[in-house]
Amino acid sequence: MSGFTDAHVEDLARQLEDHPDFRVLRRAPPLPPMPTDMTNLARGVVVDVETTGLDPRTDAIIQIAILPFAYAQPKVIDIDAYDRFSVRG
């Protein structure tokens, strides 16, 4: 998007949001890195898989998101992210 400033792009997004036929999605902010000292912390993983259907013989996985996180009872301390998108060709 050469030639566009962040302010200009944000202004265009606001104009689209004002129109009833459009919805603007924004990129999620980057997550902080996982803690380097995992003492007294546990790790967990959330996995989300998007497919083209429910039949594994004919349908494909098109997106997978993996969210590892660190937590100390009872509070989640940190979340990391992995996300890939595939177009079936």
Q: Which tens digits make up the pLDDT trace of 5-32?
A: 989 999 999 999 999 998 888 877 777 7
In a domain, 1, yes or no: no
- What beta strand segments (E) does the chain contain? 42-51, 61-72, 75-79, 82-85
- What range does the domain containing 62 cover? 6-85
- Look at the chain and report how many structural domains it folds into: 1
Count of alpha carbons within 13 angstroms of residue 42, beta-carbon side: 7
In a domain, 68, yes or no: yes
pLDDT digits (tens, 9 = 90+) for 31-50: 777 788 888 888 888 888 99
CB 67 within 8 A of CB 78: no
In a domain, 45, yes or no: yes
In a domain, 40, yes or no: yes
Token pair of 3, please? 């030639």
